[in-house]
Amino acid sequence: MEICVLGAGDVGRLIAYDLSKDYEVSIADKNKERLKLAENFATTFELDASRFEDLVEFMKKFDLIIGALPGRFGFSTLKAAIKARKDIVDVSFMPENPLELDDQAKEAGIRMVVDAGFAPGLSNILMGHIQVVLGKLDEGVINVGGLPKNPQPPLYYKVVFSPYDLIEEYTRPARIIRDGRLIRVDPLEDIKQLKIRDFEFESFVSDGLRTLLTTIEAENLYENTLRWKGHLEKMKVLKELGFFRPENLDFTMKVILPLMQFESDDFSIMEVYGKSGDQKIRYFMYDEAQGGFTSMARSTGYITAIAARLMLKYEFEPGIIPPELFGMEDELFDGIMKEVKKRNIVLEEYHKGL
């Protein structure tokens, strides 16, 4: 079974590393330096994923494709997999709706797991399981963040994934369910204070629900992304002044990116909560950098690798497979929970009224 990971960034390397323990794995990227970091556990290929036809031909060499490219390449990667007729597990945070490709995937006879990461990804799986147990939710909430353990001024944030995807979190309207209606809100319009365990954060509503908007029955459903205090107000000012407009973004990055690159281990934290009447289910997840990988790479890439293993083990029907569907099947959900904990990630479950 030959697997190829597209993208040799932190997440892509972690995926390749995990899968290389049991499968023959290749990894492709146009950056030679990134590829060198994966040479010990994967066969490396130089590839420019923006060249669509080249990407299609390259995919045909493998049994399973893993998409770990920045969000702006995600949708075209899915379309390339359809044309190449290859199963794919994708983790990119693409702005497009992958469900639009469901009919094409079915026609091509391929299976496509999308949003198979941390959030979206593990958050979907947990919310999917909550839905099965509780039925229609009065409220479903995801609180999630990947943060430096030692934040540095002036922005108090360290980039742990694609910086352009980071900015898109602040500019893309967030889709949520409020009072039974799908609405779109400005993500930085309402910055809130939020406490989880002993941590005190500020949060904003983010556009991370994605497929959950159509697969979960809820009166209210939303996702909050967490930041250390002092970050979001600065991002809001930059946005209001036009620094995040497409024509200004490259210049803005040159200025602010160095301010978000400093030495500090990171950690990932997530709370997924569902309520129906007096019944409540809450999941708490926590992880820290270890083993030479950032926590964001671990919490994201391990979920992708676990999803890939499910694809290789089970005969799913062709089409788009949102990760929450894994959470709706007890056998799959129990297996995922065990695999996550096996990788030294804290994942705890709490019930009330059940």
CB atoms within 10 A of CB 329: 16
Partners of 196 in the beta sheet?
199
Per-residue pLDDT at 349? 96
Distance of CA 39 to the CA centre of its chain: 25
Per-residue pLDDT at 41? 96
- Give the CA angle between residues 244, 247, 253 to the nearest 5°: 50
pTM (2 d.p.): 0.93
Residue type, 335: G
Q: What is the DSSP letter of 314?
A: S
CB atoms within 10 A of CB 238: 19
Distance of CA 40 to the CA centre of its chain: 26
Residue stretches of the chain with pLDDT short of 70: 161
Per-residue pLDDT at 166? 86
Per-residue pLDDT at 163? 81
Q: What is the DSSP letter of 162?
A: -
Per-residue pLDDT at 93? 80
Distance CA 55, CA 72 (A): 15
Task: Confirm if 124 and 115 have CB atoms less than 8 A apart.
Answer: yes
Q: What is the DSSP letter of 69?
A: S
Run of H or E residues at 121 = none
Per-residue pLDDT at 72? 87
